[in-house]
Amino acid sequence: MLLLVAAVAALVWANLPGGSYEDFWHTEASIRVGDASLSLDLRHWVNDGAMALFFLAVGLEISREVTVGELRNPRAVFVPVLGAIGGLALPAVIYLAFNPSGPAAHGWGVPVSTDTAFVVGILALFGPRCPDQLRLFLLTLAIADDIGAITIMAVFYTDGVSVVALVLAAMFVAVLIALRWVGVWQLRLYVVAGIGLWLAVFASGVHATLAGVLLGLLVPATPVDPRQREWLRFYGRAVIERADAARARLAVLATRATVPANDRLQDALHPISAYAVVPVFGLANAGVRLDAETLRGAATSPVTIGIVVALLAGKTIGISAGSALALRTRLGDLPGQVRYGHLIGGGLLAGIGFTISLFITDLAFEDETLRDQAKIGVLAGSLLAAVLGSLALRYLGERLPLCTIDDSGGPPPLPAGAWRDPTL
């Protein structure tokens, strides 16, 4: 809801007379320490700085799911991962079919990503009519989708690269790996190394949000040493015997040490990312002038049309076909009551490409006209995907067959060739 309100507010603000929207987001802001300074406009502080926290949250989620979550089971992962690959590749191909050359072709990465927040929010509106396994499928797909989108940004949307800064970034990565290897559980050490990593990646020319992902992947998510609980009992009893500031501080530290650093950082970061960073990002990037001339240009622009078709048809067909291939070849499984109608509806909803699509739009286009046309395509395609996906889940969800046969109960399967026996 906050992201939706921020997007609408950005559209209204951008269309007010006077141009205050662009003037505000182009305001310069600097951080200076002695002779060293870092100066960016407000939009770049949001896109390069604050969004690193969003991508840090994504990296933490990926690390946790791979380590102790649902991504540990290869069969449970294979269906959404193959669906995500189809959902990444086909939209790019469709977009390039509309924009095969020129500056517009550089925007092929815009329609490849899915906005997890919007998708999960819409699924929540369906309540019990949406199987929990479908939510899990789409969450896993979104994680694989995020990995693909982040890789695309790092590889294809980086201009010049400073080798010295990259070497420095590699040194900070080595420090983070060492902290993880020796079992350091204090978050402040990871945060300090992460800030250094962000500065190095920013100076290298690679988009600075990659530092957030790397930090999230390297903060340990494995269960802590069970001996930490013994320390908690010891310091807890000490506080009960005599409560003072020193004993209370040690008891708090012992409590924190029993929870993986990944979980503690996610808990601290999630409200900031969800309720501040992402809405502010929408406010800073969703604003586009919707005057008659801009709308006429977008209505016939291959950039706008390519993005809309790629988000709707590319995501739906790519995800459905990739998932169906994994199911039909029995490489993966979707347990529970997930039907092909749910799969199609989920594929349509995955066409909501708001956050990262707008993010890549800013990286892909130098020309303001192409950027506005791409933003209109992202907004229109995401809106259509939300409406059509909701309708598909509502009216097709229970009407198409199950994706997999639930053999946990009921009569045993018939032996091979039993269909030839008329008595069976």
Q: For the chain, give every domain's residue range.
A: 2-157+207-224+259-403
pLDDT given at position 143: 75
pLDDT given at position 99: 94
Produce one character per residue of 244-256: b if its CB has 16 or more CB atoms within 10 Å, e if not.
eeebeebbeebeb
Q: Where are the alpha helices (DSSP H) in 242-353?
A: 245-257, 261-272, 278-285, 292-300, 302-309, 315-328, 340-349
CATH superfamily of 2-157+207-224+259-403: Na+/H+ antiporter like domain (1.20.1530.10)
361: nearest Cα among 104, 146, 6: 104
pLDDT given at position 124: 75
Low-confidence ranges of the chain (pLDDT < 70): 70-71, 127-132, 334-338, 397-424
pLDDT given at position 416: 46
Q: Which amino acid is at 156?
A: F
How far, rounded to the nearest angstrom, does the alpha carbon of residue 220 sit from its chain's CA centroid? 20
Residue 109 and residue 321 in contact, taking contact as beta carbons nearer than 8 Å: no
pLDDT given at position 304: 94
DSSP structure class, residue 401: P
pLDDT given at position 170: 93
Q: Round to whole Å and give the CA distance between 116 and 172.
A: 29
Q: Which amino acid is at 422?
A: P
Burial (CB count within 10 angstroms: exposed 0-12, middle 13-18, buried 19+), residue 214: buried
Q: Round to whole Å and give the CA distance between 245 and 235.
A: 12
pLDDT given at position 162: 84
Give 190-246 as a DSSP string: HHHHHHHHHHHHHHHTS-THHHHHHHHHHS--SPPPTHHHHHHHHHHHHHHHS--HH
Helix 340-349 vs helix 368-396: crossing angle, to nearest 10: 160
pLDDT given at position 343: 81
pLDDT given at position 335: 58
Which structure tokens are listed for 186? 């204090």
pLDDT given at position 403: 61
pLDDT given at position 92: 94
